[in-house]
Amino acid sequence: MGLKHKDLISINQLSVEEIQEILTLARQMRDQVRSMKQTEDLRGVTVVNLFYENSTRTRSSFELAAKYQGANVLNISASSSSVQKGEGLIDTAQTINAYYPDVIVMRHPNSGAHELLSKHVNAHVINAGDGGHNHPTQTLADLLTISREMGRLDNLTIGLCGDLKYGRTVHSLIEAMSRYKGIQFVLISPEELKIPGFIRYNVFENQGIPYTE
């Protein structure tokens, strides 16, 4: 692939062309998985899943995807590690870095944690969810589903319902879909869970994206 980024922390790092490249590869890999064919594409690669929040589905998805491609996988849960003894993220990063991992997949409750981690490790860092801001890999999965079901990613009305204030998957999806032409949003939530200001101003109003609450 022609991606130029060391890490994937925000969906905004990816251009529309790069997203399309990822989705094309994902379709090929989906067919591969369905036929139960494992590959050696990541043979010799070590992937560390570092989860400060519990998420069975997300962690299992990353683990299975890596193993399907022949990678070595190490799972670290903050609830059963030295984090419980007060070890900070930088200390944990230095410890993991000593294992010479190639990729670190991290879920963390604080926004900005992934940028901090990336400065203290040599590995590629993938954001598997942070605070209430970003969840780029979930967004890529959502885009894959939308394009499969609708046959396109432009000229769509997107309805988002539920927790729009803290829902990081919602925020990342809005930021991604807003770059396609003919997109408008319908936002459905209780008053106390309305879309936050940074999405309202940075995306809808600054970019002139139509939306209805």
Measured between alpha carbons, how far is 141 from 57 in angstroms, rounded to an integer?
A: 13
- Nearest 5°: phi and psi at 165? -80, -45
Q: What is the pLDDT of residue 128?
A: 93
Evaluate if pTM is beyond 0.85.
Answer: yes
pLDDT at residue 168 above 80? yes
Instruction: Tell me the C-alpha to C-alpha distance, in Å, between residue 210 and each of 17, 187, 193.
Output: 23, 11, 20
- Kindly state the percentage of the chain with pLDDT values over 70: 93
The reported pLDDT for the residue numbered 36 is 66
Q: What is the average pLDDT score of the chain?
A: 89
- Whose CA is closest to 114, among 15, 13, 3? 13
Place 208 in a pLDDT band, splitting at 50, 70 and 90.
very high
pLDDT of residue 51: 92
pLDDT at 85 over 70: no
Q: What is the pLDDT of residue 81?
A: 60
Tokens in use for 158? 């997107």
From CA 115, how far away is CA 56, in angstroms rounded?
24
For residues 98-114, give the mean pLDDT. 92
By CB neighbour count within 10 A (0-12 exposed, 13-18 middle, 19+ buried), where does 122 fall? exposed
Number of H helices, E strands in the chain: 8, 7
Stretch 31-59: mean pLDDT = 85
Residue 1 pLDDT exceeds 60:
no
Mean pLDDT of 180-188: 96
Name the phi and psi angles at 164, rounded to 5: -95, -10
Q: What is the 8-class DSSP label of residue 195?
A: P
How does residue 89 score in pLDDT terms, banded at 50, 70 and 90? confident
The one-letter amino acid code at 8 reads: L
Residue 128 CB neighbour total at 10 angstroms: 26
Catalytic positions, written as ranges: 57-58, 85, 107, 135
Give, in order, the Cα–Cα distances in Å from 176 to each of 50, 102, 139: 25, 27, 8
pLDDT band at 158 (very low <50, low <70, confident <90, very high): very high
pLDDT at 212: 96
Whether the pLDDT of residue 150 is over 60: the answer is yes
Q: What percent of the chain is predicted at pLDDT more than 90?
A: 64
Judged against a pLDDT cut of 90, whether residue 80 lies above it is answered with no
pLDDT at res. 4? 64
